[in-house]
Structure 1
């Protein structure tokens, strides 16, 4: 049996600048770095401790992974398929005000959760690549593992791998503890996850 910890990154610049995130590659804010330090303090007290760290290559996730890794004496491994969904296409990194002026119809599509806009990634493609990445990590890792990722990754893991349809969202710096036993995954514990009532 092994343990897999899923951690959501800390606050990034796009979170406070009212911009479309997704594939924007923003670093952590000062607050994001501080909360990542606090998160690292929690993680070093976990039992069992993670002995391997994987991360999305986006700065907000990788910086979080590096801060945690420094406390554990581990170097994070970047995994491209753990990137957040490119949901916003050509709106990525634009402020919401700029986007409403330049692309009002696309903004309406995003707000109405309509399928893919220009330059965006389909949900199916995103789901498949994230599932592939997480399943490969779980299968190949012989150690207790920590994965630093994004809110969308939490959603896919909760809905598709752990079969938790009442899951709604993960706060920044959320922690999900999963036990793997003979290929079966089970939710052991969570902190910072919101479920539908």
Structure 2
């Protein structure tokens, strides 16, 4: 038993545009972000989805609606909201400029980073999450264990809701998508920043293993 998941990053938000860490905080989509959603929907227009889901954060919900507006092969207009597929909780770093966050993480790792991909490339996504949790003075940021627990629960929920061969739309978040890629054995992909509206295709099996078919795809018409 396996299901085919089209995992899409939400459209650009104002925090994305301003290079701020976003996490569980919610900034609205920019005009470009709205178009990111419609563009992803055009590329996915011919895929018949047996289920349509998003995280419960507004930017993901709205992106999913724009995708479904342009999807001609399915009958969904609204996604089912799954909190398990939220972005990582960055705790005290939410809304903070990326440069400040990277300087703080660099102090903890005794290293220097130009961007978040540097952290993941040199260490791992798991280590990046753990050091952010360690550096958060309010102890609000998720560590990797807490993050992974809810992601596993979310995938098990999808498997329980669907049948073999079902196509599933899942609108989520950049760090979440990268962490999922690492969890399923593709640390090389986790170091790649995911474009707004880009698709990761994965075939998820009943033993909670997955093959990643496509990653960070913002051009293919499926």
- TM-score, structure 2 as length reference: 0.72
SS at match of 2:198: strand
Deviations 1:57-98 (A, max 9, x none): 1111111111112233312000111111112x123224568x
CA distance in 1, matches of 2:57, 2:39: 20
CA distance in 2, matches of 1:181, 1:71: 28
Q: Is structure 2 residue 174 aligned with structure 1 residue 151?
A: yes
Match in the other structure for 1:166 = 188
**RMSD, aligned CA:** 2.7
User: Do the aligned partners of 1:131 and 1:156 also contact (CA within 8 Å) in 2?
Assistant: no
Q: Is structure 2 residue 196 aligned with structure 1 residue 175?
A: no
Residue 138 of structure 1 and its aligned partner are, at CA, apart by 2.8
Residue 141 of structure 1 and its aligned partner are, at CA, apart by 1.7
123-132 or 35-44, which moves further after superposition? Answer: 123-132
Match in the other structure for 2:45 = 44
4-13 or 111-120, which moves further after superposition? Answer: 111-120
Q: Is structure 2 residue 68 aligned with structure 1 residue 84?
A: no
Higher strand proportion, which one? 1
Match in the other structure for 2:5 = 4
Deviations 1:113-157 (A, max 9, x none): 534112212221012111211232133222311110011221232
Match in the other structure for 1:125 = 146
Match in the other structure for 1:21 = 22
User: Do the aligned partners of 1:8 and 1:149 also contact (CA within 8 Å) in 2?
Assistant: yes
107 and 30 in structure 1: CA distance in 2 versus 1, 3 angstrom threshold = farther
